Amino acid sequence: MSYRTSRTHDTSRKVIDTAIGVLVGLRGCTPEVAFAELVQVVRQTGIGIGSIAAGLVAVASGTASADNAEAFNAWGELIRERVVALA
């Protein structure tokens, strides 16, 4: 594995871990259940786990773009409900 591949893998893993943390916080579930949810969305959308995780993080942070439409479709309502509940 090259340095570049290793860095990409590390970055992707950090994004996946962040996405898992987002789901744990939103759903109050375990990291294992959150990861399983990510995998389920990957299977439904055909988008890679790193990309869908990055999309979830973008939606949760309010920085989503059109590139994150699948993540918004999967979790946008959950995030909106949480924000409204906290307001």
Q: Is 60 exceeded by the pLDDT of residue 15?
A: yes
pLDDT above 70 covers a percentage of the chain that reads 89
Q: Which of 5-14, 32-41, 65-74 has the lowest mean pLDDT?
A: 5-14
- Give the Cα separation of 25 and 79 in Å (integer): 10
Give the pLDDT confidence score for residue 85 in this predicted structure. Answer: 84
> Whole-prediction pTM value?
0.85
Neighbours of 59 (CB within 10 A): 25
Residues 32-59 have a mean pLDDT of: 96
- Integer Cα distance of 57 and 20 in angstroms: 9
Hey, CA dihedral for 63, 67, 71, 76, is it positive or negative? positive
